[in-house]
Amino acid sequence: MHVLITGGAGFIGSHLADELLRRGHRVRLLDNLCEQVHGGRAPDYLPRAAEFVRGDIRDRSAVVAAIAGVEAVAHLACAVGVAQSQYEIEHYVDVNIRGTAVLADVLANERHDVRRVLLPGSMTAYGEGAARCAACGVVRPNIRTAEDVAGGRWEPRCPTCGREAASIPTGESAELRSQSIYALTKRTQEELLAHVDRLCGVPFVCTRLFNVYGPRQSLSNPYTGVTAIFISRVKSGAAPVVFEDGRQTRDFIWVGDVAATLSELLESGRGDHGTFNIASGRATPIREIAERIARLMGVPIVPAASGTFRFGDVRHCTADISKSRDAFGFLPRTSLDEGLAHLVRWSLSQDSRDGFDRTLDELSRRRMLTRTV
């Protein structure tokens, strides 16, 4: 199979490329090597066996050329960052929505041999995860506002009776309640490509990824995911900053497990026309991530909870992975212990630049960081 990976120089795209090559497929990568992630340079890890094309997903002629001769497209070109998306609105909409619209338009109107399109969607599309209220049963709490969390009342509440509601796994049929511009763009990407499936018969599979971690997540991009940010903080001798009280949770999934699953779906078509959660199915508190990283790096740093709330963050969202398990035997294989140890080992051989204080200043200036306790 010949596969085009848009955003193929990125964190997840490059692991997918390695996995597809290992399985004997031909791979073409389209990537604009954006400054914030790559500093405009092709990363050293790019597989030599893949064909690399520098180009932007918003450039129709680049997409038409990149799609020539391929049988499957994995669409990973994307501006990534929940907090940053809240003020760089035009940029996130342009890259994520217009970029996907260009791809959709090319698939709908140009001649091609594409038999399958895969999009890694995002858990952020759900908004606050599902919860159980002792009085009202299963509920979907609203996103927390500054007033909600004032005085450290961090936990989401039942939208009906106002009691604290306990987090439970969220399944794919949950209503999408995107709470950030980034989430909105990921959700729109899903809808655009599902439309092309219905209208033009190009089968589409959407994998809603939860928090993916592993080597190659940029250690110098302060807008990246929490594990990479914590590692670059500790490497620079500073304590990780844990927002809220640190007991907010995320569902972490190892990038190698993601790459293997996406490859399997591209090969087999077992997910076609469907949407699937890809996650570990386990909730881990963010404070625990900071503590584990400091321990693995042998640094006696105690992460302090900031007591500040990053506007737009959800408190909890853990995946129900039963649909993926039943449909194509999905099984997360790498434990958090193994994964974090591997990630920390990798990070020690990498340059990193801790730009976190700058992003904190930026968030405060834009009043997106609320001090609540």
Does 250 bind ligand UD1 (CB under 6 A)? Our answer is: yes
- Which span (44-52, 133-141, 241-249, 254-262) binds ligand UD1, by CB under 6 A? 241-249
Shortest distance, CB of residue 220 to ligand UD1, whole angstroms? 14
Q: What's the rounded Cα separation, in Å, for the pair 306 and 372?
A: 10
Neighbour-count burial of 175, counting CB atoms closer than 10 A to its CB (0-12 exposed, 13-18 middle, 19+ buried)? exposed
Does 225 bind ligand UD1 (CB under 6 A)? Our answer is: yes
Q: Pick between residue 80 and residue 194 the one whose CB is nearest to ligand UD1.
A: 80
Q: Pick between residue 127 and residue 271 the one whose CB is nearest to ligand UD1.
A: 127
Examine the residue annotation and report whether 87 is marked as an active-site residue of this protein: no
Q: What's the rounded Cα separation, in Å, for the pair 284 and 1?
A: 37
Does 261 bind ligand UD1 (CB under 6 A)? Our answer is: no
Q: What's the rounded Cα separation, in Å, for the pair 97 and 99?
A: 5
Q: Which of residues 203-222 bind ligand UD1 (CB under 6 A)?
A: 209-211
**359: helix, strand or coil:** helix
Q: Torsions phi, psi of 19, nearest 5?
A: -65, -40
Q: Sketch the per residue contact string, 110 through 149, with ligand UD1: x for CB under 6 A, - otherwise.
A: ------------xxx-------------------------
Which position among 85, 248, 275, 334 is part of the footprint of ligand UD1 (CB under 6 A)? 248
Q: Pick between residue 210 and residue 330 the one whose CB is nearest to ligand UD1.
A: 210
Q: What's the rounded Cα separation, in Å, for the pair 305 and 216?
A: 27
Shortest distance, CB of residue 104 to ligand UD1, whole angstroms? 20
237: left (phi over 0), alpha (psi -120 to 50) or beta: left
Does 247 bind ligand UD1 (CB under 6 A)? Our answer is: no
DSSP β-ladder status, 51-54 and 131-133 = unpaired
Measure CA 30 to chain center: 19
Annotated catalytic residue, options 92, 126, 182, 223: 182
- Which span (12-20, 44-52, 171-179, 235-243) binds ligand UD1, by CB under 6 A? 235-243
Shortest distance, CB of residue 135 to ligand UD1, whole angstroms? 27
Q: Pick between residue 51 and residue 288 the one whose CB is nearest to ligand UD1.
A: 288
- Which span (19-27, 99-107, 239-247, 334-342) binds ligand UD1, by CB under 6 A? 239-247
Q: Write out 63-128 in H/E/C secondary structure.
A: HHHHHCCCCEEEECCCCCCHHHHCCCHHHHHHHHHHHHHHHHHHHHHCCCCCCEEEEEEEHHHHCC
The CA-to-CA distance between both ends of the chain, in Å, stands at 55
Q: Pick between residue 140 and residue 250 the one whose CB is nearest to ligand UD1.
A: 250
* Cα distances (Å, whole numbers) of residue 343 to 64, 259, 296, 323: 36, 16, 10, 29
Does 283 bind ligand UD1 (CB under 6 A)? Our answer is: no
Neighbour-count burial of 145, counting CB atoms closer than 10 A to its CB (0-12 exposed, 13-18 middle, 19+ buried)? exposed
Q: What's the rounded Cα separation, in Å, for the pair 73 and 106?
A: 12
Does 73 bind ligand UD1 (CB under 6 A)? Our answer is: no
Does 308 bind ligand UD1 (CB under 6 A)? Our answer is: no
Does 242 bind ligand UD1 (CB under 6 A)? Our answer is: yes
Does 80 bind ligand UD1 (CB under 6 A)? Our answer is: yes
Shortest distance, CB of residue 306 to ligand UD1, whole angstroms? 7
Q: Which residues bind ligand UD1 (CB under 6 A)?
A: 80-82, 122-124, 209-211, 223-226, 229, 241-243, 248, 250, 286, 310, 313
> Which residues are marked as active site?
182
